[in-house]
Amino acid sequence: MPVVRTWARISAVTLQSRAALIPQPREETHREEGHREQTYLVLTDHAVPYLLARVRWPDVAQAITAGKPDWLDDPGLFDLPYDPSAVRVSFGQAAAVAASWGVQLQAEPADGAPTFIRRMPANWSDLSPAERRAFGIEFVGRRRAPARHLRRLRSYQALVAAPMTEADQPAATFTLGRAGRNATGPDLDPDATDVFGIEEADRRRHVRVIVDGRAHIRCGHATISASLVDLSEGGLRCVQPDAMQALAPGTTLDAPLLLEAKATKSRICLNVRSRIIWRHSIEAKTHVGIAFGELPDSDIEGLRSLLAAAYSKRGS
């Protein structure tokens, strides 16, 4: 009997010790965040979204792509929020990406979605051929803007590279920097002489291309959809809806920034913070100037491709 009692005590302690050693990182993460909402993420190729996922541990791990617009369950998606290549987007931005693929994004996960049996652990930065086929993304890493479009844009950039006097500038072109200039014009950010380390002269040298489209802007927990007017490598101009009235010059906007051009059906997701530089009323519409922070190299290439396509489509 003494032997039995000793064995029982050791067994109970051993079981408790093993239970205490079992890690549950994702459950702890959700308790720290204090909510059970779904997380939306996109994977991009040179800033172009090609996969949209929604994740909620431990019951939701689904994704769609342009090639496979039907939701697919994949347990490997539970690792996606920890992958450096994933970009976290808001529900509004995710809905815009899904709509471009012909999918109306619902708040609840899809029932009865097929499950992809995959290798584990998942490596979203280096997908296998089977994973690419399952999601219909064999093109990733090979798609680029036509070289002729880039040549036309570069020719136009060289044409307007010479400094313009203020008399030569269009009436709707504003100084985005020092508040001492255009003092009677737009409301300016008083601290905008050096936006995210970009000097005023560098910002003004970027060629702006007229783009008819939408900018889905993330500010805090809200997503604001504004009409694009023009776009450059340094920033954009848009027409703000009523919801943006409270966003004054100097407001910092969170990453990412989703841009879409209607004419070319191009779409990019810039993983960059930005700032409102000026705001001005023109013909009963309120225009807003936004300057980008430092863009990653892949985002710059994607932005140039969208600019080239938009410029080529306009043909002027």
Does the residue 86 lie in any domain?
Answer: yes
Single out the residue in 100, 135, 170 at which a domain terminates.
135
Is residue 14 in a domain? no
Residues 165 and 109 in one domain: no
| pLDDT tens digits along 129-188 | 888 999 998 876 544 555 555 556 565 555 545 554 444 444 333 333 333 333 335 677
Are 41 and 113 members of one domain? yes
Same domain, 156 and 129: no
262 shares a domain with 226: yes
Contact (CB, 8 A) for 49 and 85? no
157 and 274, same domain (yes or no): yes
Shared domain for 37 and 84, answered yes or no, is: yes
The pLDDT, as a whole number, for residue 189 is 72
- At 75 the pLDDT is 93
Domain contains 62: yes
Same domain? 307 vs 250: yes
Predicted pLDDT at 309? 85
Residue 16: per-residue pLDDT: 40
Domain count, the chain: 2
Same domain flag for 105 and 173: no
**How far is 208 from 231, CA to CA, in rounded Å?**
5
Residues 58 and 87 in one domain: yes
Residue 44, strand partner residues? 49
286 within some domain: yes
Within this chain, do residues 112 and 164 fall inside the same structural domain, yes or no?
A: no
At 199 the pLDDT is 45
> b vs e for 212-249, b when ≥16 Cβ sit within 10 Å of the residue's Cβ?
ebbbbbbbeeebbbbbbbbbbbbbbbbebeeebeebeb
Q: How far apart are CA 204 and CA 234, in angstroms?
A: 8
For residue 7, tell me if it sits in a domain. no
Q: Judge if 155 and 55 occupy the same domain.
A: no
Do 100 and 237 reside in the same domain of the chain?
Answer: no
Query: Tell me, what's the pLDDT at 292?
Result: 95
Containing domain of residue 285, as a range?
147-314
Phi, psi of 238 (to 5 degrees): -140, 165
**Which pLDDT belongs to residue 197?**
45
CATH of the domain at 266: 2.40.10.220
228 touches 262 (CB < 8 A): no
Residues of the chain falling short of pLDDT 70: 1-36, 140-186, 190-205, 243-246, 313-316
Q: Please report the sign of the dihedral spanned by the C-alpha atoms of residue 27, residue 33, residue 39, residue 43.
A: negative
Over residues 265-297, the pLDDT tens digits come to 889 999 999 999 998 887 778 899 999 999 999
pLDDT of residue 219: 83
Domain boundary among the residues 135, 170, 190 is at: 135
